[in-house]
Structure 1
Amino acid sequence: MENKNLKPKANGAALLPFIVFVLVYLATGIILNSMGVEMAFYQVAAPVCILPAIILAFIMFKGSIDDKFNDFVRGCGDENIIIMCLIYILAGAFATVSKSSGGVDSVVNFALSLIPVQYITAGIFLISCFISISTGTSVGTISAVGPIAVGVAAKGNLPLSLVLGALVGGAMFGDNLSVISDTTIAATRTQNVGMKDKFRANIKIAVPAAVITFVILLIVGKPESEVVLDDLNYNFILIVPYLFVLISALAGMNVFLVLTSGIVLSGIIGIFTGGLTMMTFAQNIFEGFSGMFEIFLLSLLTGGLSYMVSSNGGIEWLVEKIRSFAKDVKSAEISIALLTLLTDAATANNTVAIIIDGPVAKEISRDFKVDPRRSASFLDTFSCVMQGIIPYGAQILIAAGLTKELGTLAVSPVQIIPFLWYQALLAVFAILSIFIRFADPKDKWDFENDVPLSENNINAK
C-alpha cells in the first residue's frame, strides 16, 4: 500500500482539475456577463463549478475508484477543513442574529451621530471599517451602509463615485482584518496560525493604509452643500455583542467560545430590547447557518479535491516552480502575493482564492521559512486588494447597483475604481513590508513544531 506520508513526485498535470475549476468559474461569469446578466460571476454557485473538476480528478488520477474516493473524503474530513466549516456557520449565525436584533442599524446611526457633517465622506469610510470588522462581511457592510452613503452624496452634492469608493474601501478593511471574516478563517486555518496572531501581523499593514485614506478623504470629501441627516436613533446596548466578539477574540479566547457566546449575548439583548423573540432567535441562528452553506460546501469539496491533487504531485510541482523563482523569504512572499492576486482575479472570490492557494502558501512557508503569520496575512491582504478593485467583484457590483436601485444618477463599476484609494495603499504597504520588515511578528516561528517559539517555550514548561 502506498505510504501517504511520502512526498509525491512533482506532476504538473495533476493541477489540471484546479485549472478546470477556475476556467469553468471564469467562463461562466464572462458568458453570463456578455448576455447582460447582473452579478454574472455569482449566478452559478462555486460548489457547482467545482463539480467538473472533481469528476476530472476521478477520471485522470490513477488507482481504483475506492482509493480515489477515500482520498477525496480524507481531504474533506481534514481537521482544518472541518474546523473552518464549523467557524463559518457560527460566524454566520452571529452576524444574522446581531443584524436582526437591530445591531447594524444602531452601529451606523451611533457613528453618524458622532461625525461632523463636513467630514461625512471620511465618516462613511470609518463606519464601513467598523461595521465590516465587527460583522466580518464586506458585502453585508456595503448593503447596510450603501443606501446611507448614496443619500449623503446626493444631499451634500458630493461625487457619488468618491463616496462609494470610500464605502468599498472601508468594507474591505474589515473583510481583511475581522476575526470572524471568512477570509480570515480560511487564511488562518490553512496556515495553522491563531486569529489574533494573524490580526497582529495584518494590522501593521492595514492601519497605515486606512489612516492615510482617512486623511485624504477629510481633505477632498467635504460636501459642497449642507447635509441634513434624519433622526439617528440607536441603542448602544445593541453594539455590545460586536465589541465583545472583537475584544475577546483579540484577547485570545477560543474562537468557538467567542462566537457561541456572541450568539447567546446577541440573542439575550435582542429579546430584552424587543428586536427578537425566542422563536425568531432560533430561526435566525439557523438562517445564519444556511447563509454559510455555499462556502461551507465549497470548503469541503475544495479540501477533497486539494488532497487528491496534492497526493498526485500537483502542489509539489507548483511549489517546485515557485522554488525556481524564489531564492529567499522576500521572493517567496512575492510569490504568495502574485499567486493570490491572480487566483482572486480569476475567481472573483477572495475566500475561494485563499482556499485554493492556502496549501501552496503553506508549502512555500515551510520551504523558505516564511513566518506562517505572514503568509496568512498575505493571503488575506492580497485577495482583499484584488477583490476590492475588480469591477466584476460582488463588492463593487453591489455598490454600483445601489445607485440604480435608489433612483440616483447611475454609476458604473469602472467609474468607482479611480477612488479605491484604500485598496491601492493596502497593496503599497504590504509590498513595502516585504522589503522593510516593519510588519514582522516579534517572536520567531518554530518551524519544526509549527508554533510560535513563545508558545513552544510555554508548553515545554
Structure 2
Amino acid sequence: MKILKATVKFLPVVLLAGLMISGQDALIAAPLSVIVAVIVANLTEKLTFKDCLDASIKSVSNIIVALFILMFAYAMASAFMKTGVGASVVNIALSLGVTARTTAVTGLMVTAVLSVATGTSWGTFAACSPIFLWLVHIVDPNCIESGSLLLTTCAIAGGACFGDNIGLISDTTIVSSGIQGVQVIDRVRSQGVWSVMCLTLAAITTFIAAIVMGLPTGKVEASGVMASVPQSALDYLAQERPEAIDLLNQVENGVSWYMIIPLILVIVLAVVGINTFACIGTGILSSYILGGFAGTTAFTGSGLQDYLNMCMDGFADAGSWVIVMMMWVAAFGGIMGRMRAFDPLSNLIVKISHNVRQLMFCNGVLSLAGNAILADEMAQIVTVGPIIKEIAEENIEASEEDMYKIKLRNATFGDAMGVFGSQLIPWHVYLFFYAGIAVNVYPLFQFANTDFIRYNFMAMFAVATLLILTITGLDKYIPLFKLPSEPDVTLKKNAKSDAA
C-alpha cells in the first residue's frame, strides 16, 4: 500500500514531464499538473484545497524576488541592444579577431566572470545574449545550419550559471549555505578548485566541438553586417524586435567605445557587493545617459519617454508568458513539497546506503531528482535542502569538524544540482526563461528548451563530476574538496551493528 501511495504522489510529475516532452506549452502543462497535484494531495494526504493553495502561495513567494529580477533583466537586454552597449562589445570582439570558432569559448568565459560579479545567472544571460547571439550571427551568417548558434547559446547559458553556484552574492549560494548551516565563504573556498576545473573542462570541450563542427575561422568586418541578414529577416526584426535592428546598424556604422561602460559598471558594482537590483538598474540608467552623448538615445523631445516605453515593453515581454508560467510551476512545486512526495526517497536512501559516501552520493541524486520534480532550483533548495540535511545529521557519526565538511558538500549539492541541474531538465523554469530571453533578442530562430542542453558542457561536467567524485572518493585529489572518510565518519546503523 505504501509503494502504491508513493507512486501515486509522482503522477503529477509524470504528467508535467510527459506534456512538456510531447510539445505542450508550459502554460497548459503546468496548470494541468497543478490540478492533478491537488487531487493527488487530497487522496494521499487528505490535504484540502486551502492547504494546497497556501502551499502554492508560499512557494511562489519564494521566487518573487527572482520574478522582479526577471523583469529588470528583460528591460536591460533591450537597453543594451538599443543604446549601443551590445554593439560596442561586438565591435571590440571583432577588432580582436573573434571568429565563429572562438565565439562560444569567449562567451563562456565572459558570462562566467560576469555571473560571479553579479550573482545572477538570469541577469547575466539577459545582459550577454543580445551580445553573443548577434556576434555569432555576424561572424557566421550560416550559424543556424552550422550549429554555431546553439553552441554559443549553450556556452553562455552554462557560463551564466557558474557564478550562481559559487558567487558570494548569489541568492542560491546564500540560501543553500544557510539551510545547511555553513558560511558562504567556506562554501566558495571548499569548492573553488572543483568549480574552476569544471569551467576549464567546459572551455576545452567547447573549443574542440567548434573544431569538430568545422566552424569558420575567418575574421569579419563590421561594415558587412547588414548584408549578412536576409531582407525577410530584417523585415521581421523591424516588426517584432526593432532593438535588434538598432544593434546591427550600430555594429555596421560604429558606436562610441564608451558605450561598453554600462556593462563594466554592472560588473564593478556587483564585485563591491551592491544589490542585484541596483546593479541591473545602473546598467539601464547608464545606458540611457551615455547613449544620449553617443547619439543612440535622446535627452530632449520624446527621448526619455521612448526609453521608458522600451523598458515598459521589456517588463511586458517578461510578464506576458514567462512570469505567469513560472508562478504556475512554483505553485506545483509547493504542493509536491506539502504532500511530502520525497519521504519515500529519503527512507530509501538510508536503507540502501552502506557507507557515508554512498549516503552522500544519494543526497546528490535526491537533490537532482527534486529539481526535476519541482522544476525550480530555489524550490528544490528550500524543499530538499532540509531533507538532505536531516538525512546526514541523523545518520552520520562524525566529529564537529568532519560534520561541517559533510554540510559543505550538502550545500554544494543543493546549489549545483539546482543551478546546473536545471540546465539538463527540459521542463525546468530555468530553460523557459532562457528560451524566452533568447527568442526575445534573436527572433530569427525559435529556441526550444532542449536546445540549451545539447552543448551545455558546463552543466554536464558540473553535475557528472560532482556525483562521480563523491561516490568514488576521487575528490581527495581536489584541494579542499575531500569528504571525510571511514573510520573518521561512519553511518550510525553501522556503528550500532559493530557494537552489537
User: TM-score range, shorter-chain basis?
Assistant: 0.5 to 0.7
Secondary structure at the aligned position of 1:121 is classed as coil
Alignment of 1:101-116 (within 5 A): 101-102=79-80, 106=85, 109-110=88-89, 113-114=92-93, 116=96
Paired residue total: 407
CA contact (8 A) 1:169 1:423 kept: no
Question: Which runs of 5 or more structure 2 residues have no equivalent in the other structure?
Answer: 223-250, 298-302, 397-402, 485-500
Residue by residue over 1:139-197, the C-alpha shift from the partner in whole angstroms, topping out at 9 and shown as x without a partner, is 75557633432443447x99833663353033113224336878668756765767666
Query: For residues 202 and 119 of structure 1, do their structure 2 counterparts lie closer, same or farther at Cα, with a shift above 3 Å needed?
Result: farther
Code of the residue aligned with 2:218 in structure 1: it is E
Query: For residues 121 and 171 of structure 1, do their structure 2 counterparts lie closer, same or farther at Cα, with a shift above 3 Å needed?
Result: farther
Corresponding position of 2:218: 226
Query: For residues 238 and 139 of structure 1, do their structure 2 counterparts lie closer, same or farther at Cα, with a shift above 3 Å needed?
Result: closer
Question: Which runs of 5 or more structure 1 residues have no equivalent in the other structure?
Answer: 1-9, 34-39, 445-461
Corresponding position of 2:44: 60
State yes or no: 1:160 paired with 2:138. no
Q: How far apart are 1:325 and its partner, in Å?
A: 2.5
Query: For residues 295 and 440 of structure 1, do their structure 2 counterparts lie closer, same or farther at Cα, with a shift above 3 Å needed?
Result: farther
Corresponding position of 2:400: none
Residue by residue over 1:43-83, the C-alpha shift from the partner in whole angstroms, topping out at 9 and shown as x without a partner, is 535354223202321243247x4xx73586267448xx74x
Distance 2:90 2:182 in 1: 33
Code of the residue aligned with 1:145 in structure 2: it is F
Corresponding position of 1:292: 323
Residue by residue over 1:267-315, the C-alpha shift from the partner in whole angstroms, topping out at 9 and shown as x without a partner, is 43244235583744873685487353433453355335413x23xxx54
CA contact (8 A) 2:155 2:457 kept: yes
State yes or no: 1:85 paired with 2:63. yes
| RMSD after superposition | 4.9
Query: For residues 171 and 267 of structure 1, do their structure 2 counterparts lie closer, same or farther at Cα, with a shift above 3 Å needed?
Result: closer
CA contact (8 A) 2:71 2:318 kept: yes
State yes or no: 1:265 paired with 2:282. yes
Distance 2:378 2:459 in 1: 17
Which of structures 1 and 2 has the bigger CA Rg?
A: 2
Q: Percent identity among equivalent residues?
A: 14
Secondary structure at the aligned position of 2:102 is classed as helix
Residue by residue over 1:318-358, the C-alpha shift from the partner in whole angstroms, topping out at 9 and shown as x without a partner, is 21211112345422331133234445567776666656644
Residue by residue over 1:371-424, the C-alpha shift from the partner in whole angstroms, topping out at 9 and shown as x without a partner, is 44433432343455555456788489899999x97489x99969984x554344
State yes or no: 1:242 paired with 2:266. yes
Residue 360 of structure 1, aligned match among 366, 369, 387: 387
Code of the residue aligned with 2:461 in structure 1: it is L
**TM-score normalised by L of structure 1:** 0.67
CA contact (8 A) 1:161 1:415 kept: no
Corresponding position of 1:136: 121
Distance 1:41 1:192 in 2: 39
CA contact (8 A) 1:166 1:420 kept: no
CA contact (8 A) 2:329 2:374 kept: no
Residue by residue over 1:193-227, the C-alpha shift from the partner in whole angstroms, topping out at 9 and shown as x without a partner, is 67666555554333212223334555674654522
Secondary structure at the aligned position of 1:102 is classed as helix
Code of the residue aligned with 2:18 in structure 1: it is A
Corresponding position of 2:333: 302
Distance 1:322 1:377 in 2: 18
Query: For residues 265 and 413 of structure 1, do their structure 2 counterparts lie closer, same or farther at Cα, with a shift above 3 Å needed?
Result: closer
State yes or no: 1:336 paired with 2:335. no
Query: For residues 177 and 373 of structure 1, do their structure 2 counterparts lie closer, same or farther at Cα, with a shift above 3 Å needed?
Result: farther
State yes or no: 1:175 paired with 2:161. yes
Query: For residues 46 and 207 of structure 1, do their structure 2 counterparts lie closer, same or farther at Cα, with a shift above 3 Å needed?
Result: farther
Corresponding position of 2:135: 148
CA contact (8 A) 1:190 1:359 kept: yes
Query: For residues 298 and 363 of structure 1, do their structure 2 counterparts lie closer, same or farther at Cα, with a shift above 3 Å needed?
Result: farther
Corresponding position of 1:117: 97
CA contact (8 A) 2:38 2:52 kept: no
